[in-house]
Amino acid sequence: MYTLVIHGGAGALSREAMTEAIEGSFRNGLEEALEAGRDILGSGGTSLDAVEAALRAMEDNPLFNAGRGSNFTREGRIEMDASIMEGAGLRAGAVATVSGVKNPISLARRILEQGDHVLLSGDGARCFARECGLPEAGETYFHTDFRWEAMLRERERSEGSLSEDVLPENNPDDNPLTKRFGTVGAVALDEAGNLAAATSTGGTTAKSPGRVGDSALIGSGTYANNATCAVSATGHGEYFIRNVTAHEVSALMAHAGLSLREAADRVVNGQLAAFGGRGGVVAVDARGAIAMPFNTPGMYHGYVTSQGKRGTGIFEEAVTGDTPR
């Protein structure tokens, strides 16, 4: 049996501003990512391969704030973060502030496999990507007009934006759809009983050059442990870093005896919310139970299981039961 859960970002989504066309585009993107991971899990592949494949699909989709759709720094550059972890041996790989690499999650995977380090950043990360022969892409590949315009607006206001995503429309600045968080992530349990988690992002709109968010940090944005669960986070990264959010879900299961849903809810709607942290997580445990809590109006998310259960959601959780299969 297997389970795959993904997210495409959380934030101040508005039902009123969400058109059918926009919703359909994002749901299609989620379905494509689910299918990429399901194909691997359904053929007996590993959870590590599945979460990488799911994230590559979203990194290649400019609607999501990762890979091709990444936000710009206030200097007009692309700096991406990503991380991946397996629950069996607690191996992990991560990359921060990297540019020019088509799929940062695949670079994080190579760092995991190489084993000497966990986190590489900037030029060093790009050099390692070249040594591995990973595909590169030029500035035009990563350029999306709607993200460029969003960066210019934030820079003109001389304010650091907390918005990690915008939509490809000329929305007015007060439209909540331009003020939502955006990160992509996936967690999976494979038929061998192994867990894995992965997260990737382009960061915040008009962020300071060199800013590193939780998506690059094992324990904050990404965590997997076969004894407990796999977690990927999305939201205001600084709060997720301070609360070591992904690991905290695992710790509550291991040390307080909470179920996955109880632990995830306590972290997202308790600890994070108490400090003003906004966002959500997707998680799966060693039994295949799913949790997808968020304390923002919406979070793009979806799941698929070996029992044929499947769904995507935006404003409500796609599943309500503790064990969807």
Residues 6+ apart with CB under 8 A from 188: 2, 3, 4, 5, 37, 41, 47, 50, 51, 54, 195, 196, 197, 230, 284
Catalytic option among 46, 97, 144, 183: 183
Q: Is 6 helix (H, G, I), strand (E, B) or coil?
A: strand
- Cα–Cα distance between 174 and 125 in angstroms, integer? 37
Adjacent-strand bridge partners of 207: 73
- Cα–Cα distance between 321 and 325 in angstroms, integer? 9
Strands 92-98 and 80-86, bridge-based pairing: antiparallel
Active site residue 183: yes
Q: Which two tokens mark 20?
A: 């059918």
**Matching residue, tokens 């995503």:** 165
Q: Which two tokens mark 181?
A: 């968080």
Q: Is 157 helix (H, G, I), strand (E, B) or coil?
A: helix
- Cα–Cα distance between 26 and 55 in angstroms, integer? 14
Convert 255-312 into a string of H (helix), E (strand) and C (coil).
HHCCCHHHHHHHHHHHHHHHCCCCEEEEEEECCCCEECCECCCEEEEEEEECCCCEEE
Cite the active site residues. Answer: 183
